[in-house]
Amino acid sequence: MRRRTLLAVPALGLVPAALLSACSDEPAPGRGDEAPGGSRQDGAVRITYGTDPSQLVALHRPSGASRGVVVVIHGGFWKSAYDHTLGTPLARSLAEQGWTAWNIEYRRVGNGGGTPETFDDVAAAIDALADVDDLDLSTVVTLGHSAGGHLAVWAAGRPDPAVRVTHTISQAGVLDLVASERAGLGGGAAASLLGHTPGPDDAQWDPRQQVPLDVPVWAVHAPDDDTVPFAQATAYVDAATAAGAEATLVEVTGGHFGVIDPSSPAWTAQLEVLDTIG
């Protein structure tokens, strides 16, 4: 039977522009002494893991001992119009709560991304954690919104990682690429990512076709989400639990963007999930 966590909160009515406006002071590119290929500005370290301008990470450390690492993966239907600054408010909140936040950028459709480049970058960004001094990698949580939720769950199941994901949280994630394309989400975004219409031969890229995972998954989603249907979460959790995996539905309200607003009850629910991890 599906495990469900229910949080009833008022709808927030947020829009992407409101979130982007809060993210204007992300560190500028550069190199420095704080980390390999990194520079420090405004409390975060910017680290490069490749030569492409999109192959970068913003590292936010807590002021005290770290509870573990949370890899923040932004959404935007895998399109280059959206970037990692969407994850900056969450990264700051996580650091305030004692977590090390690893806010990653990656090549997207429109700036060199697609299959396999987007997936290669996410894998490389996570594996780059091993190159940072003084990080305890015994707890590594992937946390992704929308298309980033897809990548967060995918990363938890990738074979032979240099850095193993121990837990994953999908925030209104696209967890079934085939159903996403059938519903026309993002104007055919899944087909643009793969370069063809998703199907049964795409199991290596599609979380729904990869169940069961041996990593606990929390699917945080709002029934009032009008961008990625709530059924993306419920169907995934049902399939995963039926296959013997550990998967939990965390039901919130606030639409598609409430889950990435640090002032929202939906974010509080996710911090409570993290409290059970570390």
pLDDT value at position 146? 98
Q: What would the pLDDT profile of 82-141 be if each residue is shown by its tens digit?
A: 999 999 999 999 999 999 999 999 999 999 999 999 999 999 999 999 999 999 999 999
pLDDT at 186 exceeding the cut of 80 = yes
Phi-psi region for residue 77, left (φ > 0), alpha (ψ -120 to 50) or beta?
left
Strands 69-73 and 100-104: parallel
Mean pLDDT of the chain: 88
Q: What would the pLDDT profile of 221-235 be if each residue is shown by its tens digit?
A: 999 999 999 999 999
**What percent of the chain has a predicted confidence (pLDDT) above 70?**
85
- Give 43's pLDDT tier (boundaries 50, 70, 90): confident
Q: What one-letter code names the amino acid at 208?
A: R
Task: Tell me the mean pLDDT in the region 168-186.
Answer: 98
pLDDT value at position 10? 29
Q: Are 72 and 146 in contact (CB under 8 A)?
A: no
- Give 42's pLDDT tier (boundaries 50, 70, 90): low
Question: Domains of the chain: which residue ranges?
Answer: 3-277
How many C-beta atoms surround the C-beta of residue 51 within 10 A? Answer: 6
pLDDT value at position 31? 25
Task: Tell me the mean pLDDT in the region 257-270.
Answer: 98
3-class secondary structure, 46: strand
CA 149, 256, 267, 28 dihedral sign is positive
Cα–Cα distance list, 65 to 17, 62, 95, 187, 239 (Å): 34, 7, 10, 44, 37
pLDDT at 23 exceeding the cut of 60 = no
pLDDT at 205 exceeding the cut of 80 = yes
CATH superfamily, domain 3-277, is Alpha/Beta hydrolase fold, catalytic domain (3.40.50.1820)
